[in-house]
Amino acid sequence: MVIYDYDIPEYDIWHMMMDSSEQGKGYGKEALNRVLEYISTKPFGNSDRAALTCGKNNTVAMKLYERMGFSATGAEDEDEIEMALTLSQHK
C-alpha cells in the first residue's frame, strides 16, 4: 500500500511483506522496485522521499531495503524503525 503524506510531504510504503515460503526468490525486490517505479511518477504529489518502517529484528527485510537505497532515519516506534529513500538515489 502506498500513501502520500501531504504534511511532510513523502510517500509512505505500508505493509510491504512477503510470505515466508516465497522469501529468497527475488519477489520482494521485484515488488519493491515496482512500488518505487510507481512512486517515481509522483501520482499524488511532488516528493522525492519514500519511507517505510521495518521491524528491528527483521534483518532480512532491513538488508533488502538497504540494498535498495533505504537508510534508517533514526525515528523509531516500539519495535520498528523508519527507513527512507530519496528517489533520485534509487538504484
CATH of the domain at 29: 3.40.630.30
Compute and round to an integer the Cα radius of gyration of the chain: 13
Tell me the pTM: 0.90
- pLDDT, tens digit (0-9, with 9 covering 90-100), for 6-27: 999 999 999 888 888 998 899 9
3-class secondary-structure state, position 57: coil
**Are 18 and 28 spatial neighbours (Cβ–Cβ below 8 Å)?**
yes
**Are 2 and 11 spatial neighbours (Cβ–Cβ below 8 Å)?**
yes
Total domain count, the chain = 1
Please confirm whether the linkage preceding 43 is cis (ω < 30° from 0).
no
The cell 511518477 sits on which residue? 41
Give the mean model confidence (pLDDT) for residues 70-80: 95
